[in-house]
Each structure stands twice: as C-alpha cells, then as structure tokens.
C-alpha cells in the first residue's frame, strides 16, 4: 500500500483489565507495534490502537474480591500495570481506548439504538451456559463435561430476559464475504473453523445482561447493561469517531482510517471478531475490516498462557534478563505468526547469544573498532560491493513482502541472513590482514565502507523490531548527524548503497547485546 489519504489502521484486542498483562498480551501488542513501525517506515500514514476492556462480570468479581469498585480497580490497573508495561516494551500506539470512557459509552449506545431502530434487535429469553472467564454464552459443543475448554471451569447456567441481535440473519452474507475475500480471516486454519461454525447453524446473540449492573446501560432499557463483547468489539469504531457527524473531528477521523486494515487477535477470540463483529457492521451498513489475523497461543508447559492457571509470565521476568529489544525480537523470530509456540528460556538464551550478540552486535562493534583503528574514526570513501548490494536488494524485497502478509519470522530471517552474509564478507576480506600493508589502504577502505553501509541498512531494517538498540547503533555510525532520524529512513530506499557519507565520525557506543552472565539475575 502506498502512502495515500487512507491511514493504515491496525488494532490489538482490548485486554481485560482484571489483571496485569502477561507475555501473551505482550506478544500481540509487540507484533502490532513492529508492523505499524514498518508501515511508517514505508512512508504511510498509520493509526495504531490498543486499550482495555473494563466491563463485565469478570471485572466486577475481581474488583469485589479486592474490596474496591470496578471503576477504581480499572483505573488503578490501567495506570500502574497496562500503560507502564506498554511503555517499557517501547509500544508506540497512537491511541489507548478504555471502554469506561464517555467517548466509547456514548457511541456504543447510539450504535445500539440505530440497530434496534433498523429492526436488528428484539426482546427474548436466554437460558444456557455462560463462562465468566470468556465472558461468553456457550454452546454445548464448546464444553467438556460442562467445563469451558479454554478455562477448565464449570460454566454457569444463566436464565435472563435479554435483548437479542439477529446474528443468524447475516450468515449467508458472512459466508459469501469469506468466499470472496478469504484474506479477511487468516490464517486458513482459523478461517476454516469460522466457516464450519457459520455452517453449523448460528443462533441469535443475547446482547444484554439483566443480572449485573457493571456495564453500559441499554439506552431504552436501563435495567439491563450491554453484553460485554458487543460493547467491547465496538471499540475499534468508537475510538475513531464511529457515528459522529461527517463534518466533526470524529467524523473526519473515521473517514481517514475506516475500515481497519488489520485486527490482530489471539485465536481464542476469532469467533467474536470474524462472525459477530462483521455481522454488527453489516447491520449498520459499514465497510468490513480488511483482515482479522488470529495468531497462535504462547504455551508454557504445553498449556496456553493463563493467569488463572498460574502460567502467566509477566514481560519483566524476561526483559530484566534479556533486555526489551531481545524480547521483541525473540517471539516474532522464533514462532511462526499464526501457529502455537512454546516459550523456552534455553532457546531464547541460545538465540540471544548466537543471533543478537554474535552475529549482529559483534559485527557492529568490530566495524566501529576497525574504523577507529584504521581510519581515524571516520567513514572512508564511498564504495559498492555488487555482491552485497544484490543481496541487500533481495533481502529488502523479501522482508517487505513478508511484513505485508504478517509473516514476521520470514522477514526477520531474511534480514538476519543478510547479517550473516556481511559477517561472511568481513571474514573473506580479512581487513585486519589488509591493514598490515599500507599498499592495501584503498582496498581496506572499500571493505570497511561496504561493511559500514551494510550495517546502516541492517539498522534501518531491524529498527521496527528493535528500536532502542538500532538507535544506539545509528548514533555510533554517525548517521543521525548526516542522514537524520533512523525512524525517518524509508524501506524503499534502504537498499541503495553509498548512503553513509565519507568523513562521518563513528563513535564506540554501549555494547548492543551484553553477555548474559554479565546481566544481573
């Protein structure tokens, strides 16, 4: 997608504010951050939304157990856990939506009223199983011996007079949509599950609760609150002005970003995002998201990351040892996005040492040291090694194409293969041997320049993944003074050799990836 009037709009799920974030939440959010940073470096306008889901029975129960009101609980957790965690992981979101904000509640109520006026909502009785952990009305096939397949807890039997959304009416339209636009729900394994669910006989959806009061009141029946998922899904629209007049600030924002380009979610909530959410938009005659991408689970001991099962590792447990950028790198490099993957401390240690410390960090530090030693700390004359230049062009094409389809692993692999290629070039050319004879000065300078400009390209390509580390490297290369901020470097231009100007001053910076045993345990 080239830069135009439509912003690249990406969302994460809004996360339940009943506990602090674990690395499963961080996995999704880091993926969103990497992708939006990449699109920014393509020169595109970008809007990146995340936030918290603060209504429903689960929040109410947690607040109750902690002796505070639901609002107090959410306020505390958002400010002391969620926002600080995203800040510590260098998440550059554009907006953070909370479902207790007036901008959200007012737009949700207006949307619901419009659907009722259009005949898509009716009164009825709901009786059946409900999982508080999922905040979901369950079908018999979703339970094992009465227990939720995700949480392993007994589902409550609920009997209420509720308001219903005519979800079943949109099944033919949804099936046609996925037939015409298979890319709208990925990966294929998740799309197939969604299609099977749609073909199995979809029931209308209860969209209100009368047995609790922590939620957005149904505007025409204030004794009931809106079902938490119907409320939460609308955040993607309410955060950008859904339903506001076209000439208002909200209306203009909505026109600029809608429809979303990518909804990033975990696969356990694919039914909400690929069935209920598009049906709601169809009912409102609004364009559908271009893609819902449901990634796999992070597993610990073979089980999905979960606070309730005490397998929820907080990001700081890992970043305190490996650093933030290694955290960001590892999960997208080690696990194919869309598949389940197990977190392994040993595997992360091995990759940190071989790929980050040895292949990348050591290459950068050797280059800076050699330029300081052999060139008085100044970038030598511009030169281009055609073999490296060709490899870099191929790398950029592969990485950009992979990022386009959310294949983070292939993108990172291609960049790190180029890093290995540059290491191989240095080993072959042996600049430390060339430096022994003054007659080799021109050749030595060529080798050092080609290595330096290759590292310049690596810094730009790895910047969306490891922003803090690459900023340090950029400064060491003297590139900030001559080429400008690293975040302003364009992906389309990165393969052009010869960008580092002759005479730029290099400086020895901090070790990019210190030996792990030197880190405080």
Catalytic residue, from 74, 134, 375, 419: name it: 134
Please give the Cα distance from 326 to 348 (Å, whole number): 9
Known catalytic membership, residue 131: yes
Mark whether 22 is an active-site residue: yes
φ/ψ region of 377 (left if φ > 0, alpha if ψ in -120 to 50, else beta) reads left
Active-site residue, from 83, 116, 290, 307: 307
Cβ count within 10 A of residue 488: 11
Distances (CA, A) of 17 to 59, 63, 82, 230, 309: 7, 10, 8, 17, 17
d(CA 214, CA 236): 21
Residue of 25, 138, 253, 291 marked active site: 25
User: Is 134 marked active-site?
Assistant: yes
In 268-407, where does DSSP find H-type helix?
270-271, 277-283, 315-322, 324-334, 345-351, 362-374, 386-404
Beta strand 221-226 pairing with 208-209: antiparallel
Token code pair at residue 19: 């506990």
Identify whether 148 is a catalytic site residue. yes
Q: Which residues have a Cβ under 8 Å from the Cβ of 199 and sit 6 or more positions away?
A: 175
- Mapping DSSP onto H, E and C, the string for 51-102 reads EEECCCHHHHHHHHHCCCCHHHHHHHHHHHHHHHHHHHCCCCCCEEEECCCH
User: Using an 8 Å Cβ cutoff, are 69 and 76 in contact?
Assistant: no
Question: Is 120 among the residues known to form the active site?
Answer: no
Residue of 151, 290, 321, 441 marked catalytic = 151
Asked about 74 being catalytic, the answer comes back as no
d(CA 34, CA 10): 11
Q: Among 39, 58, 273, 304, which one carries the catalytic annotation?
A: 304
Catalytic residue among 131, 185, 375, 419: 131
Q: What angle do CA 447, 452, 453 make, to 5 degrees?
A: 100
Q: Which of 74, 120, 148, 253 is catalytic?
A: 148
Q: Please, are residues 288 and 270 in contact by the beta-carbon 8 Å criterion?
A: no
Active site includes 436? Answer: no
Question: Annotated catalytic sites, by residue?
Answer: 22, 25, 131, 134, 148, 151, 304, 307
């Amino acid at each position: 997608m080239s830069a135009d009037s439509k912003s690249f709009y990406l969302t994460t799920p809004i996360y339940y504010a009943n506990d602090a974030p674990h690395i499963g939440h961080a996995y999704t959010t880091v993926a969103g951050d990497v992708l939006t940073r990449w699109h920014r470096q393509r020169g595109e306008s970008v809007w990146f939304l995340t936030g918290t889901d603060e209504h429903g029975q689960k929040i109410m129960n947690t607040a109750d157990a902690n002796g505070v009101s639901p609002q107090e609980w959410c306020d505390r957790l958002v400010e002391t856990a969620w926002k600080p965690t995203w800040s510590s992981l260098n998440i550059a979101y554009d907006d953070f939506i909370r479902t207790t904000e007036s901008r959200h509640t007012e737009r949700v109520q207006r949307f619901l009223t419009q659907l009722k006026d259009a005949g898509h909502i009716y009164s009825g009785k709901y009786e059946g199983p409900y999982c508080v952990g999922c905040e979901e009305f369950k079908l018999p096939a979703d339970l094992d011996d009465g227990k939720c397949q995700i949480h392993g807890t007994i589902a409550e039997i609920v009997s209420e007079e509720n308001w219903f959304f005519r979800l079943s009416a949109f099944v033919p339209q949804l099936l046609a949509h996925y037939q015409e636009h298979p890319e709208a729900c990925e990966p294929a394994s998740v799309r197939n599950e969604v299609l099977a669910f749609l073909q199995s006989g979809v029931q209308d959806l209860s969209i209100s609760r009368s047995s609790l009061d922590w939620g957005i009141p149904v505007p025409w029946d204030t004794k009931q609150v809106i079902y938490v998922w119907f409320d939460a899904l609308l955040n993607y629209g309410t955060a950008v002005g859904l339903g506001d007049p076209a000439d208002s600030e909200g209306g203009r924002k909505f026109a600029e970003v809608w429809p979303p380009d990518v909804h990033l979610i975990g696969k356990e909530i694919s039914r909400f995002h690929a069935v209920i959410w598009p049906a709601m938009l169809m009912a409102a005659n609004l364009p559908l998201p271009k893609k819902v991408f449901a990634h796999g689970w992070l597993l610990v001991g073979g089980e999905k990351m979960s606070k309730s099962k005490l397998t929820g590792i907080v990001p700081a447990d890992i970043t305190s040892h490996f650093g933030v950028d290694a955290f960001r790198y590892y999960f997208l490099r080690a696990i194919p996005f869309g598949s389940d993957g197990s977190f392994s401390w040993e595997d992360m240690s091995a990759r940190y040492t071989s790929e980050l410390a040895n292949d990348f960090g050591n290459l950068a530090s050797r280059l800076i040291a050699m330029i300081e030693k052999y060139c008085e700390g100044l970038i030598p004359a511009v030169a281009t090694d055609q073999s490296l230049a060709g490899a870099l062009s191929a790398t950029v094409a592969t990485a950009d194409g992979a990022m386009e389809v959310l294949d983070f692993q292939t993108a990172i692999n291609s960049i790190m293969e180029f890093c290995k290629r540059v290491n191989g070039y240095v080993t072959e050319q042996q600049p430390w041997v060339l430096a022994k004879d003054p007659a080799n000065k021109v050749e030595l300078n060529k080798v050092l320049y080609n290595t330096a400009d290759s590292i310049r390209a690596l810094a730009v390509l790895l910047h969306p993944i490891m922003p803090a580390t690459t900023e340090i490297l950029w400064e060491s290369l003297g590139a900030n003074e001559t080429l400008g901020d690293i975040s302003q470097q364009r992906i389309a231009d990165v393969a052009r050799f010869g960008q580092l100007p002759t005479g730029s001053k290099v400086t020895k910076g901090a070790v990019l990836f210190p030996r792990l045993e030197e880190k405080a345990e």
